[in-house]
Amino acid sequence: MKIFYDGQCPLCVAEMKKLHRFDHHKQIILVDVHDENFATQYPHIDKCKALSVLHAEDDNGEVFFGLDATYQVWKLVGKHRWLKILRVRPIRWFADCCYWLFARNRMRLSRLLLPSRCNNQRCKLDD
């Protein structure tokens, strides 16, 4: 499975680091949408859309968005099983609204919650 994340977002990078630590079987490929080869390697993923909502793609080519993407990747590594409850109706609607609010404000939240370890507008994944 591939997950497409914003490498300029400290919170996003912190989450990818955490996910990577739990991916003992190397099942997930982390793809920074800001990589220079992104458009040629993943022409079917719209960078602007991927920056507005998290994208994940399984091995069959199915693309998941937002909390569905989050749930799929964490399920794959066997962690955060509680996320499943966020995909059940009517909780799903409220959870998705909260996700959209978070996604739109992730950079502001990053500045408030995490000291910036980003250089040249890029955050390091391998710390």
> In the chain, pLDDT over 70 holds for what percent of residues?
89
The pTM (predicted TM-score) of the whole model is 0.84
pLDDT surpasses 90 at 108? no
Instruction: Supply 13's token pair.
Output: 């990078």
| Structure confidence by residue, pLDDT tens digits, 49-74 | 999 999 999 999 999 999 999 999 99
The predicted-structure confidence for 70-91, as pLDDT tens digits, reads as follows: 999 999 999 988 889 999 999 9
Per-residue confidence (pLDDT) for residue 116, from 0 to 100: 58
Sign of CA dihedral 12, 32, 87, 101: positive
By CB atoms closer than 10 A (0-12, 13-18, 19+), residue 112 is exposed
Of the pLDDT bands very low, low, confident and very high (cuts 50, 70, 90), residue 125 is low
Distance CA 115, CA 49 (A): 26
pLDDT given at position 121: 57
Mean pLDDT of the chain: 89
pLDDT level of residue 124 (50, 70, 90 thresholds): low
